[in-house]
A and B are shown apart, each in its own frame.
Chain A
């Protein structure tokens, strides 16, 4: 596999300089947003608020980083929000039953992984279009979660578990450290490993990828499983932060996660995007939502704004392609 060796002919290599350009634009956008917000609101440039933004962005990033790989293959995972719901409830149940935060965490991660695996099998083996398969999965998961929880909530977890979501280390919230770890690991995986480059290749041209001998089905299953597992990670951090599991937890997070990936420069048609871009996307979206909060805008505007951002980001991508 020479994709990684030769940056001028590789699927991602061609777009490398353009990718960097795109990233710089997005960083600039984030910087301008920060500038505008610090002028508009005194509360923005406080260390408390900055840490708050980063912590919120981290939750979004966990979800969006897994989704990035799916979108890189040209697919979509609409079930990530519902996945958080079921994974969080399973983790909460396991903690309550065993008293062990470790087992609880494992239960949450395993649930997320299993759901992702099902998505991957439906897409790769049964050849159901990914947005339909994962949309069906969304409602299946909602049904299971609502039935299982029956309107109840599970709350009150051991303090060591809650540390994951609300603890601090050297004055910085622990989720932010986790975000940095996943950012580095995800970037390394996507850019510097053969599997990661194969994922790019599948998105750029699935037929060519198959013909060059890339095990497309297995890689597809891998990315959906990974997306599910990252939803599991998000559910654990979310659960530890909220200290309570309910059926509708995470329900509203699918659209923001997709928005973060698309703002980050990933193309819905596959092959273009990066985990670092998604990180910036998550940051920009969180800044927008945080700014709306600081400026006391009614929270009902948030889905509207997020929806508009999704469409705008896809339009930018389409527009860029037409010009190219």
Chain B
């Protein structure tokens, strides 16, 4: 643990990467795909990229905070899947979207609480704790759905994803809203400052009399809740719940955060970087889709990109 002091009165001093590598990566990929595939640089496609990136953004934002606490949440994709199934099943049995949404967020919160409790109270390393809960969530997803898709969701649910307000698609508005929320949360509240300190200097928090264990639990609960929100968009997009829908999506989220320059050590994080990281993953997937590259290869490309980003991260922290 580094012993650098972090003054609570100056959260803006959180270190930002001096050379935003993610901007270069995004620009390079953008130019590359614009040159390679004619369908890329159209208004329709660009708006498509934004809309499709929103679910990932909803996961990547809380993942940024979790990684800033020197943590990790590998269960997010599985929890999102489970929440989406619970949402679909609840809406089928009760007909109430509000109740279903509450149930989905509730599932997320419960898993977040479990993750946070395991990590902070039992001091279990986060990647193992959340690997275990990932198994649990995957098993539950198969159990509640019996391995089948849940279909027959009322049509109006789809509106949430495909509707728009004065021409701006709903998902983009939701994405902007949550981005603003997380920006304010991290940079303009005491909570955000504490999060930086959780990764940077936990001892200082203890000395300052902050109950950091509760704080850490709340960070993981925030991640779970956001997985519940993402489940609403996911279910609305597919108009169904599917037991393997978002398996592995936590990898895209971790990739986006890593690309965005948030460090896995020392509590250095950057919400704007995460947004750019999400867009980079979105542009990469969209461009490869247009070039008819199979989804499996896209995953490989993202993996390579992440390793590259981590290399840069390592070189940056050395200098």
Contact = CB atoms under 8 A, between A and B. Distances in A.
A160 to B, nearest CB: 33
B296 interface: yes
A136 B303 contact: yes
B27 interface: no
Given A129-B264, A307-B131, A140 B314 contact: no
Contact of B298 (A76, A143, A301, A305): A143
B300 A307 contact: no
Interface string B141-167: 011000100000000000000000000
Contacts of B193: none
Contact of A144 (B123, B138, B142, B300): B300
A214 interface: no
Contact size range, A: 35 or more
Contact of B128 (A258, A301, A306): A258
Contacts of A25: none
A243 B151 CA distance: 36
A20 B319 CA distance: 46
Contacts of B301: 143
Contacts of A302: 139
Contacts of A315: 118, 122, 124
A136 B131 CA distance: 14
A142 B135 contact: no
B81 to A, nearest CB: 12
A128 B312 CA distance: 11
A135 B300 contact: no
A258 B123 CA distance: 18
Interface of B is mostly: helix
A40 interface: no
A146 B139 contact: no
B128 A255 contact: no
A133 B132 contact: no
Interface in A131-168: 131-133, 135-137, 139-140, 142-147, 150
Interface in B286-311: 294-304, 306-307, 310-311
A311 B124 contact: yes
B136 interface: yes
A142 B299 contact: yes
Interface string A270-304: 00000000000000000000000000001011111
Given A304-B140, A308-B136, A310-B135, A143 B307 contact: no
Contact of B129 (A76, A128, A142, A311): A311
Contacts of B135: 255, 303-304, 306-307, 310
A126 interface: yes
B300 A147 contact: yes
A307 B118 contact: no
Contacts of B251: 135, 139
A206 B118 CA distance: 26
Contact of B139 (A132, A147, A303): A303
Given A128-B310, A307-B131, A318-B124, A139 B139 contact: no
Interface residues of B, number: 43
A244 B258 CA distance: 37
A137 B303 contact: yes
A122 interface: yes
Nearest to A127: B314
Interface string A30-58: 00000000000000000000000000000
Given A298-B143, A311-B129, A315-B124, A133 B136 contact: no
Contacts of B95: none
A311 B300 contact: no
Nearest to B318: A127
A306 to B, nearest CB: 5
A314 interface: yes
Contacts of A88: none
Contacts of B147: 300
A222 interface: no
* Residue from B72, B254, B296 with most neighbouring chain A CB atoms (10 Å): B296
Contacts of B118: 311, 315
Contacts of B310: 126, 128, 132-133, 136
A137 B124 CA distance: 23
A268 interface: yes
B134 interface: yes
B177 interface: no
A236 B132 CA distance: 27
Given A298-B143, A318-B124, A311 B132 contact: yes
Contact of A314 (B129, B143, B298, B299): B129
A195 B290 CA distance: 51
B128 A314 contact: yes
A255 B127 CA distance: 12
Contacts of A127: 314
A303 B128 contact: no
Contact of B125 (A136, A137, A143, A268): A268
A300 B146 CA distance: 8
11 contacts: A128-B310, A139-B251, A139-B299, A139-B303, A140-B304, A145-B296, A300-B143, A303-B142, A304-B138, A304-B140, A311-B118
Given A298-B143, A310-B132, 18 more contacts: A76-B127, A127-B314, A132-B264, A135-B127, A136-B307, A136-B310, A139-B299, A140-B303, A142-B299, A144-B300, A146-B294, A300-B143, A302-B139, A307-B134, A311-B118, A311-B124, A311-B133, A318-B124
Interface of A: 76, 78, 122, 126-129, 131-133, 135-137, 139-140, 142-147, 150, 255, 258, 268, 298, 300-308, 310-311, 314-315, 318
Interface of B: 72, 74, 118, 122-125, 127-129, 131-136, 138-140, 142-143, 147, 248, 251, 254, 258, 264, 294-304, 306-307, 310-311, 314
- Sorted nearest first, the 5 A-B pairs with minimum C-beta distance are A307-B135, A143-B300, A304-B139, A146-B296, A300-B142
